[in-house]
Chain A
Amino acid sequence: MVKQAFLLLGCFGCGSAKEGEVLSIEDTQSPSVEHLSVTAQLVRASIDTRGVRPSVSELKIIAADPNALGAMVDAFVDDPRWAAQVRDMYGYTYLTRTEGYFTLGQAVGLDSAQELGPFTSAMGEEALRILSTVADEDLPWTTIVTADWTMANEQTAMALPVDYPVGETGWKRAHYTDGRPTAGVLSGTNMWIRFTSTVSNFNRGRANAISRLLLCNDYLEREIELDRSLNLIDAEATAEAIKSNPGCNACHSSLDPLGSNLFGFMHMHDGAIELTTYHGERENWWKYGTQAAPALFGTPTQGLSGLGTAIAADPRFRSCAVEQVFSGLVEAPSIEDTDRLLTHLADFEAGGLTLRALVRSVLRSAAYRGETGVMSKMVRSEQYASQIEDLTGYRMTYVDYDLLQSDLIGIRLLAGGVDGVNVTQAPINLNATMALAHERIAEAAAWTVLAADRAALLDGGTPRLFTHLNPTDVRAQIEYLHQRVLSHEPAEHIAAIDDSEALFSELMAISDDPEAAWSALLSALFRDPDFLFY
């Protein structure tokens, strides 16, 4: 068994360890297991595909018939909540959920944080909405680079030249009206504000974004050995070296032609129209910039639409999709097992290149189900919020704006989110600020659902978590909370339920107020290790 020390810092007056005392997990922890139970597999799939815990009835079905798991998980991918999980998963790859659209928001006349928050948030969603729409409508995944439509809502429509219907709200398909070539996410303004380019770098950074996101070929992950004989000060010599020097040419021979496809998005200043409008007249500026004709890895492309078509036809596009879904669900950096990649690729292709087919393939894999070595996942901040909302109806907002989506007015990074620029990797461990954010969300959610359930019970409605106004059978209520919140089968988690019962007694002794005790107990369940790690 792995020996892992807990150092208790002596912060708790009634702690089980004295200050500075080191408790060995070997001494205190139950034996570790090296596989996932069927219930744990169900929880994992439910959170990853729906963003919520399994229902009690789902738990009971699996307990009665473990073989039902496969069909149940397959059905999860048909759930309406799956599209949001697609966006969240790809959000960590596309990194478009930044606050870099702030300047654009100001340029279109938005002023207050309440206005800029929802605007910047929506601008970061355009590409992700295209992905989730393609996924949800079972369109071939190639549509993400060939679609002749984009996604817009009333926020993005304030800045983008799109045919979004005036007076309506919500995300809808829309079309750019500035004559730009259509190529799915490649045509979206938000991508090229997030991945910007200086005039002198000729879209190379953007080209790498395309290569990284769509072909899983990140030039910036290559170790660079600069040729010391090359005079980078001399522009002509540099341009020549890019063409002929093997050290330069290895990257630039493909990077530069890729960047040449994007000169229509070159902006000369940060004015709103300049930023958001496609500049068709600049498409040929590559002749003065990269001096490399537009192409995709040696294949000439006919405009941006041609680039989308070429990417869709590139075999790496499909294998990249497999890599990304596998990494997103299994949280492994990449598929090292070629056979495994080919299996998922075959399922992807057999399923008509729909993301559903691919996701189902990965969900069925031994790696995901924890049969080939157990990885332990921590819920992302979006999943933490969606679990809480599903259980309680509570989401932390300000003027209806999700405070976990913004650092400008919210607590995104503090709660464990990423900002797409300074922090680009989801944490895999809890830290102090996340613990505090969870504490406050859990506290608010527990009080909220308690009040709502009380009102529901008085009105003859259906409560979410509390089955009686003043539960006389405390044990039964706690068992139900463990089942619903932590997916604990009561008979298998007697010790944990005993702990909660003891905690409830202690809370009652402190507060002498059942509501305070119940809300506190529930908030603890929302912060429990079994709520966070899955």
Chain B
Amino acid sequence: MRRRDFLLSSSAVATAGLLHPRSARAAPAEADTKFLFVLANGGWDIVQAFYDAAPHGNVHTPAGFSLDDSHGDLTYVRSDALPQVSTFFDAHWQQSLIVNGLWTNSVAHESCMKYLLTGGTAKKPDWGAIIASSTADRYTLPHVVVSGSSFAAQLGGVQTRVGTSGKLDGLITGDFINETDSQPGRHGADIEAVLNRHLVQRAEGVEARGEAHIDQLARYAKAMAESDALKHQSLSFSTTRDPTEQANFAMDALSVGLSRCASIAHMDWDTHQDNDDRQSLRFGELFSLLTHIMDGLSSRLAPSGVALSEETVVVVFSEMGRTPSINADLGKDHWPVTSALVVGPGFSTGRTVGGFDELFYGQPIDPDTAEVDAAGVDISAGAFGATLLQRAGVDPGEWLPGFKAIPGLLS
């Protein structure tokens, strides 16, 4: 049985949906909420989808892009050239929260990425790893990273990169050996199981040398158990560089209870040349992907039996924005403020919050209402992350001293 066998018939899920109309359903328990992170890698130009910069006058926006305010408090930028964006928001605006004016503090990819994913530049784990660690015992691969940047720091045991070369399936079955120069003998499955059991017991018997070693041995035992569990499930890990395939795998991993968090990346957003056309191309691809993800989440069941979309938060972000003006190569360079899109339960959805001032910097918001407020707080990457952690049932103070969650972003 392969991936497709995990997908449930749309009729079954639709029936579940009829029994529990969306408006009557509460957000899932914090610890049950799953997260799918979609990273637009390289820095997106938010004026093509999230923020109407026309009132600024000095912010370059391609012709044909304009504000759409037809979906309640959710405003976005629509264009006939990018129907994928409108298609997405037409269908999912009630579950969507656009956060404008998100600070990532730098104009260097590496530091912006660290800010976006960890809240600062120190060696700390990313949001997915932290969230996954809080319930790590319930999942075989608590945070599965298919592509894009990841920062595991001390939480390496809960974060697993499965890669995009399709090699993991071969490691699970052992067939990868057949792709190597020598193909010596193989153990049978029965022997493999005996060996894994033995090694878990060995971890318990080793004389530990201090706390770090004790932790390593515990994680060792868990990794052994997880690797064995992977041999007994049918999910295919043959992911490639195709974002749709990666998204399918990520959703399957959440659906079968393999993972609580999954991360994928959509690449090639760094448009120092030919910005408008290349960003449009990327946004078109991205929003097609997001529509595919929303369909996929709706057509899969979570382990609890409800539609996966009812328990999954999709976080779509990019490590930086792009300069307001066009450079000599018709490109746009790096900008320290960006936007994010959050789709899913538990957030104050159906609205767009935050904004940009006359210098195109992020505007502060009232933390309780998320309305723009000059006396409010910045939407820093750290505060944004703290909000994700809080939604996930993790105390932000434990991981992000100095940052507070923004309650106005939560429902």
Task: Point out residues on A near B: beta carbons under 8 Å.
Answer: 2, 4-9, 11-16, 23, 25, 28-36, 40, 198-201, 204-205, 208, 220-224, 226, 228, 230-233, 333, 370, 373-376, 378, 394, 396-400, 403, 407-411, 413-414, 421-423, 425, 427-437, 439-440, 443-444, 447-448, 451, 495-496, 499, 503, 506-507, 510-511, 515-516, 519-520, 523-524, 527-530, 532-533
Contacts and interface: CB of A to CB of B under 8 A. Distances in A.
A413 B179 contact: no
Nearest to B329: A199
Contact of A198 (B137, B197, B215, B333): B333
B177 A440 contact: yes
B201 A443 contact: no
A14 B197 contact: yes
Contact of A523 (B187, B228, B360): B187
Contacts of A439: 171, 192, 195, 227
Contact of B361 (A4, A8, A226, A407): A226
A147 to B, nearest CB: 28
Nearest to B337: A226
A384 to B, nearest CB: 14
A229 to B, nearest CB: 8
Given A374-B209, A425-B151, A448-B184, 10 more contacts: A12-B193, A33-B210, A198-B272, A199-B329, A374-B213, A397-B181, A414-B167, A414-B168, A432-B141, A529-B216
Contacts of B207: 29-33
Interface size class of B (residues with CB under 8 A): 35 or more
Contacts of A223: 105, 120-121
A516 B171 contact: no
Contacts of B215: 4, 429
A435 B160 CA distance: 11
Interface in B295-345: 323-325, 327, 329, 333-336
A410 B165 CA distance: 8
Interface stretch (B76-84, B218-226, B285-293): B218-226
B354 to A, nearest CB: 15
A199 B272 CA distance: 9
Contact of A495 (B147, B179, B205, B220): B205
A533 B213 contact: yes
A200 B195 CA distance: 56
A529 to B, nearest CB: 5
Given A220-B106, A232-B359, A425-B152, A520 B195 contact: yes
Contact of A520 (B154, B171, B187, B230): B187
A6 B199 contact: no
B327 A200 contact: yes
B176 A440 contact: yes
B197 A12 contact: yes
B167 A2 contact: no
Interface string B154-166: 1011111111010
A373 to B, nearest CB: 7
B211 to A, nearest CB: 5
Contact of B159 (A6, A7, A198, A431): A431
Contacts of B188: 510-511
A200 B272 contact: yes
B229 interface: yes
A529 B210 contact: no
11 contacts: A15-B200, A198-B333, A200-B272, A200-B333, A374-B213, A411-B163, A411-B165, A503-B195, A503-B198, A533-B216, A533-B217
A429 B191 contact: no
Contact of A34 (B123, B209, B216): B209
B235 to A, nearest CB: 13
A86 to B, nearest CB: 23
Nearest to A198: B272
Contacts of B187: 443, 516, 519-520, 523
Contacts of B167: 410-411, 414
